[in-house]
Structure 1
Amino acid sequence: MQIEGAVALVTGANRGLGRRFAQQLVARGAAKVYAAVRDPSALDLEGVEPLRLDITDPGSVRAAAAQAGDVAILVNNAGIATGANLVTGDPDAIRAEMDTHFFGTLHMVRAFAPVLAANGGGAILNVLSALSWFSYDGGTAYCAAKSAEWSLTNGIRLELAKQGTLVTALHLGLTDTDMTKGMSGPKNDPADVARAGLDGIAAGLIEVLADDASRRVKAALSGDPAALYPGVVRG
């Protein structure tokens, strides 16, 4: 996928990882970068075209697709982390996780698939997580939603292959964004993660593992799940 000269759209572009995607797309010579956010008036990025978008609102997504009919690269980055657990958490928070990561991404793909087809096929980059493959107590709703988004990514890849659309999954571990402010431990530089994702679509890859954490968790899936969840194993 040729980034230079292409038109791109990034969801959740106002901060964190989405902001780095937008900045790097501009730096790589994209012809236009739509920075899709809920409130364009608060956007302070240079060299982008603000676009009002709420991915959980199908009407807002349809309006964005109608306005941005020249898109060839779609970066589905927008996300939330409510901290809800599945058994004891607020059902509304759990639903919000799924509405954002699964249905929000699906709304975007369904609305922009015809746009990408009309513009030669293009590429979709879905920002996933090492937590697509691993759950932790204190965020099991997020993990379930990311796992669903991973399966969605694999499914749309099959469906969109016939129109020549590259679908790439980007998996990452703990990354230094507003979403992870309250979390301790080593964190990725979001600029490095964005670079890995864009390098991946430029190289035509269908999966990018941005860090050692993602590589370790994926490798562990082929073994005994007790190795991932030692605290729940009973002797």
Structure 2
Amino acid sequence: MQINGATALVTGANRGLGRRFAQALLDRGAAKVYAGARDPESVDLPGVVPVRLDITDPAQVAAAAALATDVDLLINNAGSSAGAGFLGGDLADIRYDMETHYFGTLSVTRAFAPALAANGGGALVNVLSVLSWTSSPLFPAYSAAKAAQLSLTNGLRLALADQKTLVTALHVGYMDTDLTTHIDAPKSDPLVIANLLLDGVEAGQPEVVADETSRRVRGALSGPLSLLFPDVT
């Protein structure tokens, strides 16, 4: 599909990568960009349409879908990272990450799939992570939630094929946003990542592996497990 003239909705569009998605869409000529956020007053990007949207709230998801019936590009970007560990963390925090990344993404997709079909199929993007393929001791619950979201993405690709909706997965590591200011590691420019993703959508790609870290881990999947977990295998 072409971004120029498209109507898009981006979840979690008030900050970080989501805000850059909204900016890139406008820069590339999108006709309308709905910017979903828990607090729509926090959306400060000129030219977008703020929408109250907590993806874990079924009523807000339904209201957003009823409002934005003209959407032909849905970007599931909203996420969470409670930072819980598997053995000592609060189970509620672990559930929250799963509610956001898996059930929230599924809820939004189910709500907007009829609009995508009615508008010609369009495209669905799920923002995943390099941790969809591996796990980090710093973010174990997040890693598990992203792995579940990857499986969901693959299933949605099959479920939406008949209505000709492109389903694209974005894999990326650390990006230079306010959420990673405390992390000392190489970081990608989120606006560059946003544009790489939109390039992939326009090219009809089912997967965009956007940085070197993700490419390295993606390549290691076909090798021995020790490539991913050298300290424990």
TM range (shorter): over 0.9
Q: How much does 1:42 deviate?
A: 2.0
Deviations 1:110-164 (A, max 9, x none): 0000010011101001100000011111211000000000010000000101001
Q: Would the aligned equivalents of 1:81 and 1:179 in 2 still touch at CA under 8 Å? A: no
Cα deviation, 1:191-231, whole Å, max 9, x if unaligned, reads 11101111110110000000111110011011111121121
CA separation in 1, counterparts of 2:88 and 2:220?
28
Amino acid at match of 2:99: D
CA shift, 1:181, in A, is 2.1
User: 1:181 is aligned with what amino acid?
Assistant: T
The reply on whether 1:229 has 2:208 as its aligned counterpart is no
Query: In the TM superposition, what is the alpha-carbon distance from 1:41 to its structure 2 partner?
Result: 1.5
1:60-88, CA deviations, whole angstroms, 9 ceiling, x for partnerless residues?
10110000000000000001111112222
Aligned to 1:232, the other structure's residue is in SS state coil
Aligned 1:7-26 pairs, distance under 5 A = 7-26=7-26
Shift of 1:46: 0.6
How do 1:168-207 and structure 2 match up within 5 A? 168-207=168-207
C-alpha offsets along residues 34-79 of structure 1, whole Å, 9 cap, x if unaligned? 0111111122111101111010011110110000000000000001
Aligned-pair identity (%): 62
> Which one-letter code corresponds to 2:128 in the other structure?
L
CA deviation string 1:18-46 (max 9, x = no partner):
00000010111111000111111122111
Look up the match of 1:85.
Answer: 85
Separation in structure 1 between the aligned mates of residue 151 and residue 171 of structure 2, nearest angstrom: 13
1:60 paired with 2:60, answer yes
Distance 2:193 2:202 in 1: 14
Task: Tell me the SS of whatever aligns to 2:54.
Answer: coil
Moved more, 219-228 or 153-162: 219-228
The number of aligned residues is 233
Q: Secondary structure at the match of 2:5?
A: coil
For structure 2, the 5+ residue unaligned runs are: none
Whether 1:165 aligns to 2:178 is: no
| TM-score in terms of structure 1 length | 0.97
In 1: Cα distance, 2:227 partner to 2:132 partner: 17
Q: Output the aligned Cα RMSD.
A: 0.8
CA distance in 2, matches of 1:231, 1:184: 21
Correspondence for 2:143: 143
Deviation of residue 184 (structure 1)?
1.1
SS at match of 2:74: strand
Paired with 2:223 and 2:19, the residues of 1 have a C-alpha distance of 37
- Aligned 8 A contact 1:80 1:179 in 2: no
Q: Which sections of structure 1, spanning at least 5 residues, go unmatched? A: none
- Rounded Cα–Cα distance in structure 1 between residues aligned with 2:109 and 2:40: 22
2: CA distance between counterparts of 1:135 and 1:56? 24
User: What one-letter code is carried by the residue in structure 1 that aligns with 2:131?
Assistant: L
For 2:210, the equivalent position in structure 1 comes to 210
Residue matched to 2:115 = 115
> In terms of mean alpha carbon deviation, does 221-230 or 116-125 score higher?
221-230
Give yes or no for the alignment of 1:5 onto 2:5: yes
